[in-house]
Every structure is written in C-alpha cells, then in structure tokens.
Structure 1
Amino acid sequence: MNIDFKGRIALVTGAGKGIGRCIALKLSKLGAKVFAISRTESDLDNLKEEDSSIETRCLDIGNWDNTRKVIEDIGQVDLLVNNAGISKRQTVLEVTEEFIDEHFDVNFKAALNISQIVAKGIISRKGSGAIVNISSISSTLAFPGVPIYCTTKAAMDMLTKSMALEFGPLKIRVNSCNPGVVLTPMTEKFLVAQEQKDALTGRIPMGRFIEQDEVANTVAFLLSD
C-alpha cells in the first residue's frame, strides 16, 4: 500500500518518546509536515537530531489554556494523533482526587481540547482531515494497579465514537488505535521482572509484544485516504 502525506500537516502529541516518537518519524517519512509535542525539551531535541524537518513544541498538554494558545499558534493541521498519556500506579482504595485529575487532564481532556481546535480549523477552511486517538486494550480489559488509567482509556474510546459521529459529516474521520502491551519507556517501568513479561506474552497468540513500528503503521493507515 502506497501512503503519501505530501502537502498534509500532522500534529502528534507525546512525540518525545515511545509510540509517539515512532509515529512522528513515520508520518514525516511518508511526506507529512510534522509538528511534535512533548513536555520534555531534551526528548524533542533528540527527535530533531534524527529528523530535522520535524517542528517541535515543548508543552504540558495538561494545561488547558496554554495548550489552546500553542495549538492555535501552529495554525493549519490536517492530521492529528492524540497519543500523549500518563500511567501511574494507585489502587482504587488509594486513589486521590489530585491523582484522578492529573490522569484525566492529560489522557482525556487534552485530547478533547486539541481535537476541538484542529476540527474547527479544518471546518473553517472547508477542508478534510483525520484524527487518530491512541487508546489501549485496557479500555476494555482491566489491569491491576492502574484503575484510573484504564478508566481514562475507556473514556477515550467513547470520545472517539462521539467525535466520529459528529465530525464524519464534516469530512473529518476519527478512529482509535487500541494496542496491547508495547515495550515503551513507560511500560518498562511496570514490567521489570521477566516473570511479568512471560505472563503477558503467554496470553498473546504470537508470543511476543507489539513493536512500536507496528502501531505507527496502523496509525498511518488510519490517517490515510
């Protein structure tokens, strides 16, 4: 399959590490002008060293108002990947309001906030576009120790369906990508022991974790015509 994003402008959040970084590099390779968002400047510098054509913005997307300003300043965006997310351990009995707010601010509210800005821009230009939300298998399959993360991903799935319903007639396609375990810097924190990894791969028919590039390829397909 030949995918060509020449002339298209893409925005990827959480592009400093892991899946987001891989997606940003993939879209750039396929011809898109990419804007990469991360809250860690050193990660963005490293990304820029690998692909100097990528534009970077250092931003904590958990800050609603500041995020709106930065995204609006970027201007035209045709393709959006809401990838940024956090996952910290705290059980239902331990969880605090601050912990809940932190996860929803980044994993859910930021995706809605940025999607609203991008969608309004596409509509005002009478253009067309596509949005991919990076959700997770944990939106439907509970994992121990991370109930709030799982809940934010379930919310992301319903937001995706609602956005697809609302934006479809306006020439904006919306999909989600729900990977299982991908060995990124974030998941490596949780899967320290080999026994943990073996327990998970034992439940996967192919007997291995998903590669980051496989997620990036799926996202590129969902963004393509």
Structure 2
Amino acid sequence: MEKQFDGKRALVTGAGKGIGRDVAKELVKCGAVTYALSRTQSDLDSLKEEVPDIHTIAVDLADWDATQKAVESIGPIDLLVNNAGINIPEPMLEIKKESYDSIMNINVRSCIQVSQIVAKTMVSRKCGGAIVNLSSQASMIALTNHAVYSASKASIDAITKNMAFELGPHKIRCNAVNPTVVLTELGKRSWSAPERSGPLINRIPLRKFAEVEDVVNAVIFLLSDKAAMISGTCLPVDGGFLIAGV
C-alpha cells in the first residue's frame, strides 16, 4: 500500500459503518493519522479492534455544541471526509417536520459545521488541505420517497462548490462524490429484491450497483496529491446512470 498520506491527519465522519468505515481504514493503510467519528460507540469499539492504530471519537452530529467540542479536541486536520448522513424515506405528501429536521441537521448542517472547524485550522496553519463530501446521485435526479434526502444532497453539491470557491485561495481543495446505490450491508438488504433493484440497474449502463471499494477509491483519489488540480467537482460514481436519462 502506497503511504501517500504519511504525516497527514485525517478525520472521517459517519465512520462507524459502511463507506465511512472503509474510508477510515484505507486512510490508515495510506499512512494518515486517522480519526473515526460516529455516534455509535459499539461501532467504534469494533473498528478499534479491527484497526488498533485508528483514533475514535463518539459524538452525535445533531448536537451542535457537543460536535464543536469534540471536533475541536482532535486538533489540526489535513484531510476531511464528511461522510455522515441519514435518510428517512417518506412520500412527498407525508413528509414530517421531525424527519426534515433530522435529515438536514445531519446531512447538511453538520457538514458545514465540521468543515468550518477543520478549515479554520487549515487557514491559520497556512498548510492547505483537502475536503471530500459524500453526496449522491439523488442530488441530480428524482427518486420516489426521497424528496428531503435529495434536497440535502443537492445542498451538499452547492456547499462543495462554494467551499471550493472560498477556500481555494488558502490552498484547500473541496470536492464531492455522488454514488449510485452502494452495496454496503444496508444497501444489500435494501436492494436485494430483484423487483426493486432490476429497474434501477437497467438504467445503469454498466448494469451493476457500486461496491464500497468503488466509492472509497474515488474519495482517496480526491484527497490525494494526484488530484491536485481538481476542486469544486461533484464526481458521479454511478456506472453512467446520470448520462442515461430517465
């Protein structure tokens, strides 16, 4: 494994499961001093057992004050992955205030807050850095029962571009990754039924969903110096879904 992040300090939110967990593990393999943040202590405990060199921090990103304290306690960060996110599928006519608030607080507000904290230290240290935000193909298309989730990910795309624009003069690159369905454990359970997965797969030119590794590789690339001239992009990892039309 190429130690391309030796001497770097990385933070991954939503690192207890799925994509975030594998991103955090890969960052350790690549030499970064890595902090894995999750609200679920048991997930962090199992991650620590699997990767003893990783640093874990438990906090609920819905809690502004607790998040501020927790992220500031980590110290300077060079590489940030805003991966934390939730979805509460509801039909447009049945969206609840509580669902809206929960999705937007975790998916959008926490991304802004964590990025603020991290970017301020990058600016003060004059060291530059890289930020990758996890978005979704849902930011660009309509999906049944995903109105609020889609809105939250469209917000992430817009935030990413604005972050890149404002932070670029400080040598801070900001990008987003927009996957299709990813075959995490949750993704496999949610999309195992052929009658559900079939119509969507048939709209993907490569005729398959994304593996976790596909998204991890994209994130690691955008964090690395190999992407030194890439900033403000929203990179689809979707097998061509977004070029295929409705």
Interval of TM-score (by shorter of Structure 1 and Structure 2) = over 0.9
Q: Percent identity?
A: 49
Counterpart in the other structure of 1:6: 6
Please list the CA deviations of residues 117-146 of structure 1 after superposition, one character each: whole Å capped at 9, or x if unmatched: 000011111111000000000000111011
Q: How does 1:99-110 map to 2 (within 5 A)?
A: 99-110=99-110
Report whether the alignment pairs 1:212 with 2:212. Answer: yes
Q: How does 1:79-118 map to 2 (within 5 A)?
A: 79-118=79-118
Does structure 1 retain, via aligned residues, the 8 Å contact 2:36–2:54? yes
Counterpart in the other structure of 1:28: 28
- Counterpart of 1:61 in 2: which secondary structure? coil
Distance in 2 (CA, whole Å) between partners of 1:154 and 1:166 is: 19
- Counterpart of 1:36 in 2: which secondary structure? strand
- Counterpart of 1:131 in 2: which secondary structure? strand
> 1:189: Cα distance to partner?
5.0
Report the more deviating stretch, 155-164 or 190-199.
Answer: 190-199
Counterpart in the other structure of 1:221: 221
Counterpart in the other structure of 2:196: 196
Please list the CA deviations of residues 15-55 of structure 1 after superposition, one character each: whole Å capped at 9, or x if unmatched: 11111011001111111011001111111111111111110
Please list the CA deviations of residues 89-110 of structure 1 after superposition, one character each: whole Å capped at 9, or x if unmatched: 1112111211111000000000
- Counterpart of 1:93 in 2: which secondary structure? helix
Counterpart in the other structure of 1:59: 59
- Shift in alpha-carbon separation, 1:107–1:186, aligned structure 2, 3 A: farther
Does structure 2 retain, via aligned residues, the 8 Å contact 1:3–1:224? no
Does structure 1 retain, via aligned residues, the 8 Å contact 2:2–2:30? no
Aligned alpha-carbon RMSD (Å): 1.4
Counterpart in the other structure of 1:70: 70
What amino acid does structure 2 have at the position aligned with 1:173? R
> 1:185: Cα distance to partner?
3.5
- Counterpart of 1:84 in 2: which secondary structure? coil
Q: How does 1:145-184 map to 2 (within 5 A)?
A: 145-184=145-184
- Shift in alpha-carbon separation, 1:150–1:189, aligned structure 2, 3 A: farther
Distance in 2 (CA, whole Å) between partners of 1:176 and 1:89 is: 22
How many residues are matched? 225
Distance in 1 (CA, whole Å) between partners of 2:188 and 2:86 is: 13
Report the more deviating stretch, 37-46 or 162-171.
Answer: 37-46
Does structure 1 retain, via aligned residues, the 8 Å contact 2:184–2:211? no
- Counterpart of 2:190 in 1: which secondary structure? coil
Tell me the TM-score normalised to structure 1 length: 0.96
Counterpart in the other structure of 1:18: 18
What amino acid does structure 1 have at the position aligned with 2:4? D
Counterpart in the other structure of 1:127: 127
What amino acid does structure 1 have at the position aligned with 2:132? V
- Counterpart of 1:181 in 2: which secondary structure? coil
Distance in 2 (CA, whole Å) between partners of 1:208 and 1:42 is: 32
Tell me the TM-score normalised to structure 2 length: 0.88
Gaps of 5+ in 1: none
Distance in 1 (CA, whole Å) between partners of 2:187 and 2:143 is: 12
- Counterpart of 1:80 in 2: which secondary structure? strand
